[in-house]
Amino acid sequence: MKLSLSLPVALLTAALLGAAQSTHAQSSTEFSWSHLPTAQQPTFKADTFNITRYGAKPDGLTLNTQSINAAIADCSSKGGGVVLVPQGLWLTGPVELKSNVNLHLVRAAVLQFSADFNQYPLVLGSYEGQPSYRNQSPLSGTGLENVAITGHGIVDGNGDAWRMVGRDKLTEREWKSKVASGGSVSEDGKVWYPSEKSRLGAKTPNASAPGRTKAEYEAVKDYLRPNMVVLTSCKKVLLQDVTFQNSPAWCLHPIMCQDLTVRNALVRNPDYAQNGDGLDIESCRNVLVEGSTFDVGDDGICIKSGKDEEGRKRGIPTENALIRNNVVYRAHGGFVIGSEMSGGARNLFVENCTFMGTDIGLRFKTARGRGGVVENIHVRNIAMKDIVHDAILFDMYYFMKPPAKLADGQAAPESVPAVTEATPRFQNFTIRNVVCDGAERGIFLRGLPEMSVRQISLDHLVLKVNKGVELIEAQDIRISNLRLETKAAAPVVYVENSRNISFDGMQVNAPTNQALFSVSGNRTEKITAARTEAGKGRTPIEAKAGASVKALKVKS
């Protein structure tokens, strides 16, 4: 038999319609740094429901699933209040939140989710922007209002029990410990899997896609890792002070929520945690993320809105968000938009954040087929240290192969698709006051031939990097007051098939045996440079691959 989708889809459709209607009323609101988005806060009665009253035991052996859920249900049925988790180690299976409930973990309380996969039934949810069967999330809630997880305790998803890991990600001692714990090793000896079901799932294309039989899902069940905290179509949500760690897949995943606050949270995952994102905000409206710290295995703070056609059908952008005073350590990106952004994103404000050792600092990624408009994104006062790759990246070729280069350096001819609803757009970004001490490259912008990255303003940047600036298929870009220190034997600024690019007030400290500007491609035009200090003895411009030196005008 095939698992029925009718009831989950009907509920999801109703939630989407309601969210879309409420979103429409807010879409025309004008936001600015002097008029920032806000999120309404939940309120709770003072009544307290201690989980020990419902039979919970902190011995690390008793499975407290029924006791904790009973406390939450009783609290909600009596008008709400605080469900108290005292200090101790509380072993549990999936916990389902209810409206008007604040699940409060005191300091040194550990909500430890079980490593027994049988505790987590298969459910239809959403993963990476599309409907997907997964194991039930450790902490979840759907269609709730006034809901919170607070306190200085710890929520641990037991992710190491779920996730596969490559031998090259571990020390030899750690690898031997993994293998000795059980599970299964790949034929080439390079990957450890928690079980044979997990290994089979890794080999099965689209293992979680809807439409398979129950037996087919059960055969790969252990591979279908859940996101740890999933809140769907909820209003007035608060996640505050808690340590969220060791998630099987994504850690925090609010989807289609309204009035979401994440405050002073600590989100932790091992650096090898596959899909170990910190916070994925998907199709949410009115969001505040502040004072939080992320140290994870994938993107740190990430904005999403559905993937490809399914995301466009949903049509709910993530909008009206303020993200401030956060620190991101290890992560694939510090602040990220995409790549699943098919419903769009707009009116996002990011300020006073620091990224330490992330792969990329500001990371905006998409690809052909996604669609979606990402616009009105404003970023200021960002500090970065020891970034592995790019300090600032816009890339519309995410997980795509860009056009090959011919012998003369020109992009090889390719069939350029027509612009449709499946064409993504990045437009109207302002990024100001960024300091980066250490990165492979300072700025990288790459659009599509059919749709440039456009209307990007970068102002007051100090970048100490190996390579400077690279702009490909970009349009209407303004870079001003840039102090750039580079080491690589390469042109400081490379521009390919781009137009209407202006540099104003650029100070450069770089090897003098390379050109300041290198322009490439016969569609490169209308580049201006004013008040540029490049040092003596440097070639101002080189042109190749069909470009002309006349594409650049230097103004005094």
Comparing 9 with 501, which gets the higher pLDDT?
A: 501
Selection from 21-25, 121-125, 409-413 with the highest mean pLDDT? 121-125
**Neighbouring C-alpha atoms within 13 Å toward the C-beta of 275:** 19
CA-based nearest residue to 371, from 338, 343, 336 = 343
Judge contact between 379 and 430, C-beta under 8 A. Answer: yes
* Chain centroid, CA 493 distance in Å: 28
- Residues shown for the chain: 556
Is 298 tagged catalytic? yes
Average pLDDT value for residue range 481-489: 94
**pLDDT tens column, 307-360:** 999 999 999 999 999 999 999 999 999 999 999 999 999 999 999 999 999 999
Residue type (1 letter), 463? L
Q: Which residue has the tokens 């303020």?
A: 322
Give the span between the Cα atoms of 69 and 46, in whole angstroms: 19
Q: Which residue has the tokens 């608060």?
A: 238
Give the span between the Cα atoms of 362 and 334, in whole angstroms: 6
**pLDDT tens column, 27-60:** 557 999 999 999 999 999 999 999 999 999 999 9
Residue type (1 letter), 282? E
Report the pLDDT value the prediction gives residue 15, as an integer from 0 to 100. Answer: 47
Give the span between the Cα atoms of 393 and 374, in whole angstroms: 14
Q: Are strands 258-263 and 235-240 parallel, antiparallel or unpaired?
A: parallel
Q: The tokens of 501 are what?
A: 């690019």
The model's confidence at residue 19, banded by pLDDT at 50, 70 and 90, is very low
Give the span between the Cα atoms of 47 and 53, in whole angstroms: 14
Backbone φ and ψ of 330, nearest 5°:
-60, 135
Average pLDDT value for residue range 514-520: 91
- Dihedral sign (CA 308, 287, 454, 373): positive
**pLDDT tens column, 534-553:** 655 567 889 999 999 999 99
Give the span between the Cα atoms of 60 and 66, in whole angstroms: 15
Is 104 tagged catalytic? no
pLDDT at 13 over 70: no
pLDDT at 208 over 90: no
Comparing 19 with 266, which gets the higher pLDDT?
A: 266
Give the span between the Cα atoms of 8 and 4, in whole angstroms: 8
Judge contact between 470 and 488, C-beta under 8 A. Answer: no
Rounded CA Rg of the chain: 25
Alpha helix (H) ranges present in 65-151? Answer: 65-77
Report the pLDDT value the prediction gives residue 28, as an integer from 0 to 100. Answer: 55
Q: The tokens of 461 are what?
A: 């940047």
Question: What pairs with residue 267 in β-bridges?
Answer: 244, 294
Question: What pairs with residue 113 in β-bridges?
Answer: 92
CA-based nearest residue to 340, from 317, 366, 319, 364 = 366
Helix (H) or strand (E) holding 495: strand 493-496
**pLDDT tens column, 439-449:** 999 999 999 99
Q: The tokens of 510 are what?
A: 């770089």
DSSP-based helix, strand, coil % in the chain, nearest 5: 15, 45, 40
65-79, 454-468, 539-553: which has the minimum mean pLDDT? 539-553
For every residue of 432-478, DSSP letters joined together read EEEEEE--SEEEEEE-BTTB-EEEEEEEEEEEE-SEEEEEESEEEEE
Calculate the dihedral angle through the C-alpha atoms of 263, 264, 265, 268, rounding to the nearest 10 degrees.
140
Mean pLDDT of the chain: 92
Question: What pairs with residue 301 in β-bridges?
Answer: 279, 335
Give the span between the Cα atoms of 372 and 316, in whole angstroms: 10
pTM of the model: 0.94
Q: The tokens of 245 are what?
A: 């760690």
**pLDDT tens column, 346-401:** 999 999 999 999 999 999 999 999 999 999 999 999 999 999 999 999 999 998 88
Catalytic residue among 222, 253, 259, 332: 332
**pLDDT tens column, 91-133:** 999 999 999 999 999 999 999 999 999 999 999 888 777 788 8
Catalytic residue among 156, 259, 298, 476: 298
Give the span between the Cα atoms of 436 and 461, in whole angstroms: 8
Percent of the chain with pLDDT over 70: 93
Beta strands in 223-316 (DSSP E): 229-232, 235-240, 243-245, 252-255, 258-263, 266-268, 279-282, 285-290, 293-295, 301-304
